[in-house]
Each structure stands twice: as structure tokens, then as C-alpha cells.
Copies of this chain bind each other. A is one copy, B any other.
Amino acid sequence: MPVQQQRLEPVSSSPSDPIQRAWIALGRISQSVQMHVAAALKQAKLPDLQWYTVLWELERAGRPTRPKDLAVPLFILPYQLSRLVDRMEKEGLIVRIDCEEDKRGHLLEPTDKGFAMRKQMWAVYGPAMQQAMRRIADPEALKLAELLYRLGGVDNPHGS
């Protein structure tokens, strides 16, 4: 056992009440609004939000993109993305094309059907998001985003 200890502090302190309240609120409310949008998409017989995000990232990139470059913005593990791409390719929304520079991987690109699907999904997604967020006004929304990004340690989220 250590003979000397610099300070006497609790080894691992319990979160303060405000922190716990924020934590709980974050879990509950994010789940609630996510479910609202997910339900809207399902009711419209459209694919999952994740599919939208893939299509959107590919469209935003504006060129064929490597899975590994998608994995980061999507917060997704490689094997998860691999199967997600499988399903989306099977539905004809994206295609895997050979990558000349690195024969291990490939490039992903939306098909025309993929572009169309993203638009179609946005027609449901947008209004559902609006509805889910209807209780806060724009200035509060900005404040909320700012606090969240500070919490997440993101410095400059305005660019993307």
C-alpha cells in the first residue's frame, strides 16, 4: 500500500445533482425525439434514419467515398457499416465500386434511386424533425446546440 498520499480526495466522486439532472434529461429527451422521427419514417414505409444519414453524407461528399471516411461522421463501427452497405446495396440505393488506389477497399456512391430516396425521406424527416422540436424557438435551439457542443467538446461545429 502507498506510504504517502499527496491529497485526501474521494477516488471517484459521484456526479453533482445538476450533472445528473442534465444526464437524465439528455437520455430521455433525445430518445423521445428520435423515436418521434423514427416512427414517422416507419409509418411512411421509408427506411431507417441511418440510411438517410449514409445517403446524405455521400451526397454531401459529392464524390465516391470510402467506408472508413463515412464511419467517423456516422459514429459507426466498420462491421456495422459493412452490413448496412450490404442492405442498402441490395435495395439498389448505393453501389460499391472498385478503388484503384487501395485494393483492400472500395468506394461508395449513391445510385439515382439513392438520390431520389434521400429526397423522399427528407420530405418526411424534415417535417417530423420540425414537429419533434416544435417546443423550442430558434434562439433557444441555438443555445441548446451551443451547450451540447460544449458538453461534447466540439469547438467549431458551424462548418459542417
- Which residues of A does B touch, CB under 8 Å? 12-16, 18-35, 75, 123, 126-127, 129-130, 132-133, 135-136, 138-145, 147-154, 157
The listed residue (B129, B135, B145) touching A150 by CB distance below 8 A is B135
- If A22-B136, A136-B150, A144-B144 are given as contacts, then 12 extra A-B residue pairs at C-beta distance below 8 Å, sorted by A number, are A13-B126, A13-B130, A16-B138, A21-B157, A22-B145, A24-B145, A25-B148, A26-B29, A27-B30, A135-B151, A136-B151, A143-B143
Which residue of the partner chain B has the closest CB to A158?
A: B21
Can you spell out 17 A-B residue pairs with CB atoms less than 8 angstroms apart?
Answer: A13-B126, A14-B130, A18-B142, A19-B138, A21-B157, A22-B145, A23-B33, A23-B129, A25-B145, A26-B30, A28-B148, A30-B30, A31-B75, A33-B151, A35-B75, A135-B151, A140-B147
Copies of this chain per assembly: 2
Chain B residues whose CB sits within 8 angstroms of the CB of A20 once the complex forms: 129
Which residue of the partner chain B has the closest CB to A146?
A: B25
